[in-house]
Amino acid sequence: MVFSSISFIYYFLPVILIIYFSVPKPLKNMVLLVGSLIFYAFSEPVYVLLLLFSSLVDFIHGIIIENNRGNKKAKRALISSIVINIALLAFFKYSDFIILNINTIFDMNIHSLGLRLPVGISFYTFQTMSYTIDVYRGQAKVQRNLLKLATYVSLFPQLIAGPIVRYRDIQEQIDSRESSYDLFAGGISRFVIGLSKKVILANTLGELSVLISNTGSPSVIFYWMGAIAFTLQIYFDFSGYSDMAIGLGRMFGFKFMENFNYPYISKSITEFWRRWHMSLSSWFRDYVYIPLGGNRGTKISWLRNILIVWLLTGLWHGASWNFIIWGLFFGLILVLEKVFLLKILEKTPGVFNHIYVIFLVIISFVIFNSDNLCSAFLNLKGMFGFLDIPFINRETVYYLRSYLGFFIVAFAGTTPMMKMGFDRLKKRGTWKIMEFIQPAGLLTLMIIVTGYIVDSSFNPFLYFRF
């Protein structure tokens, strides 16, 4: 089940909301837990057991750490928890990748396991790991109620594709949270906006990207159109999902961290990664980069730590060499920025900085979106005119004319212009009018989105594969 489906919007969500607000406070976590497991079972009925096992493992380890605080048994429990979590993730996500590389390097013929990747395992594994690490560090209170910890791990708004919510950030909300009209209404608004970004913008861009990749008449401009379409698609797809998750959380009284902050307006790649998938970036910073030594020590060790983090970031996204290269690509750019590029960018006009960021991000997502390195190299050759294809052709002109207006709207949607417009209306005292217009606008969006969902068969979430 996905958020952008009729079954979720008009059946699952209304039912769980009615039940949730009908039961007394002590039963609300139970409703969320059961509802979340049902939600997950629609996609992965067998792997519900894996989700519960992961919750149980870290529940037990958290108690062992707390009961043995200050001695070696606590540290051994932490190590055990991390090893088990990484082993589960590695087994389900990287087994076939490891086997493939062993076969290639040593000319062997080991059969792949062919395991189906549990949806969201990369996200909830990082959440459970952060719980035990934070308990060990004394940054989170140990949870002695298994139901409450399992509710946190399986919470359906952020279970499948984030944001990566740390237990320490919502531990008080798990035990006691208040619902209000403003919070619930804000949650609905945020959900509808995220749903619109996904269904209207991301899905349309995805369909265009597929059309371009399957064309029999490629051109240099066509390759660039495809690359730009995917760059916009992945932003609206993932930020739209995050908006929906944050909105759903608010409906149930939770306040999740923001995950995107208009990354395409950045003036450096360093700034880009402070704005893109912020929950993942901060996770690697706090649990990998800083423990490795961060920027302490020699410059060589500092730069090494950056590359290690970005190697792992690429690997986290998928079991393929193109993801590893994608991570190292960003790692290398960040190293260069730390060494000298940032000083140059500070003296460069902002418009050129934006072009620099967008150019590198587009190139990175060509690598990211390719099935393998050969495919990525072929796409890059096409973009830079190293294939025997025209610069532009009639088919390219047709699609340019057809989608130019849509591209302009999509580019505008990656900026805070609309938000700034609402803020100006509020300052001018016309916000009371917006209080009447906004519900009508949201209802109109829901009608349009419903039509899109019913009419379209293209509705995948890109980050479900991670």
Length reported for the chain: 466
Query: For residues 163 and 256, is the Cβ–Cβ distance under 8 A?
Result: yes
Whole-number Å distance between alpha carbons of 298 and 461: 42
Contact 266, 357 (CB under 8 A): yes
User: Over the range 181-197, which residues count as b (16 or more CB within 10 Å of their CB) and which as e?
Assistant: eebbeebbbbbbbbbbb
Q: Is 317 a catalytic residue?
A: yes
Catalytic pick from 61, 277, 317, 354? 317
**Whose CA is closest to 281, among 296, 295, 266, 270?**
270
Structure-token pair, residue 301: 């060790």
Q: Are residues 278 and 258 in contact, defined by beta-carbon separation less than 8 angstroms?
A: yes
Which residues are designated catalytic? 317
